[in-house]
């Protein structure tokens, strides 16, 4: 793992199971702020307004925020197990809500912990996980005689979101992992005899799988 990497979920996910006639529904969503997380919790509570419990947990990268709620379940049996699934998975910028429709049979403290953990786990699995890494959005101009050479070397640098404008010259824009930038710049300089220079337009985090 390099410096600055973090994991989050790829998209919203939902899954469910039944345990001793209690129905558990896990919902997850990638978020970037506490407000987004709480808005998601509210939307799930509205959707399942007739459920017995809507237990949630979320971790937000900005400010290192971690919150959970048992929503009426016995203390320590619901919100913390959901939060633990996120922590053990190394996930951030993620919110999970596990909804329970009580089926009339008590699960006991250990049974609740296992059920809420499982509800969170399947919600995360349904969403998928991605690893975010520091990246640069680059822009550079090249003439047509060099464009083919440059395009040929791009795949080995795991380039993301390539955009080309073909005018009098070719304006190329793409995202590259920050850790590959210096090597790319060096090869580009050698390849074009310094005629093409990549300018950093933006620093961001991107889902760029590298060969580890």
| pLDDT tens digits, 12-62 | 999 999 999 999 999 999 999 999 999 999 999 999 999 999 999 999 998
Q: What's 91's DSSP letter?
A: B
Copy the structure tokens of residue 27: 């919902």
CA distance 96 to 81: 11
pLDDT at 68 over 60: yes
Copy the structure tokens of residue 188: 């580009």
Q: How confident is the model at residue 10 (pLDDT cuts 50, 70, 90)?
A: very high
CB atoms within 10 A of CB 147: 16
pLDDT at 188 over 70: yes
pLDDT tens digits for range 111-121:
999 999 999 99
CA distance 61 to 96: 15
- Exposed / middle / buried, residue 172 (Cβ in 10 Å: 0-12, 13-18, 19+): buried
Beta strand 129-142 pairing with 65-69: unpaired
pLDDT at 2 over 80: no
Copy the structure tokens of residue 55: 């237990």
Query: Helices (H) and strands (E) in the chain — how many of each?
Result: 5, 10
Beta strand 160-166 pairing with 199-206: unpaired
Residue with tokens 């049996």: 77
Copy the structure tokens of residue 108: 């006991």
CA distance 94 to 8: 6
* C-beta of residue 132 within 8 angstroms of C-beta of residue 209: no
């Amino acid at each position: 793992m390099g410096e600055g990497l973090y994991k989050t979920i790829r998209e919203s996910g939902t899954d469910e199971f039944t345990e001793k006639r209690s129905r558990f529904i896990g919902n997850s969503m990638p978020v970037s702020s506490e407000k987004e997380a709480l808005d998601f919790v509210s939307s799930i509570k509205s959707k399942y307004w007739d459920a017995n419990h809507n237990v949630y947990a979320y971790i937000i990268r900005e400010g290192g925020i971690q919150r959970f709620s048992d929503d009426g379940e016995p203390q320590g049996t619901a919100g913390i197990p959901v939060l633990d699934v996120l922590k053990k998975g190394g996930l951030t910028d993620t919110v999970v809500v596990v909804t329970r429709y009580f089926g009339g049979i008590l699960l006991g403290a250990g049974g609740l912990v296992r059920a809420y953990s499982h509800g969170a786990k399947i919600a995360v699995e349904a969403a998928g996980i991605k690893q975010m890494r520091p990246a640069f959005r680059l822009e550079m101009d090249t003439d047509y005689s060099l464009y083919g050479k440059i395009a040929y070397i791009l795949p080995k640098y795991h380039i993301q979101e390539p955009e080309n404008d073909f005018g009098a010259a070719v304006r190329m824009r793409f995202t590259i992992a920050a850790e590959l930038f210096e090597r790319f710049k060096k090869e580009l300089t050698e390849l074009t005899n310094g005629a093409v220079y990549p300018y950093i337009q933006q620093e961001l985090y991107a889902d760029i799988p590298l060969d580890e």
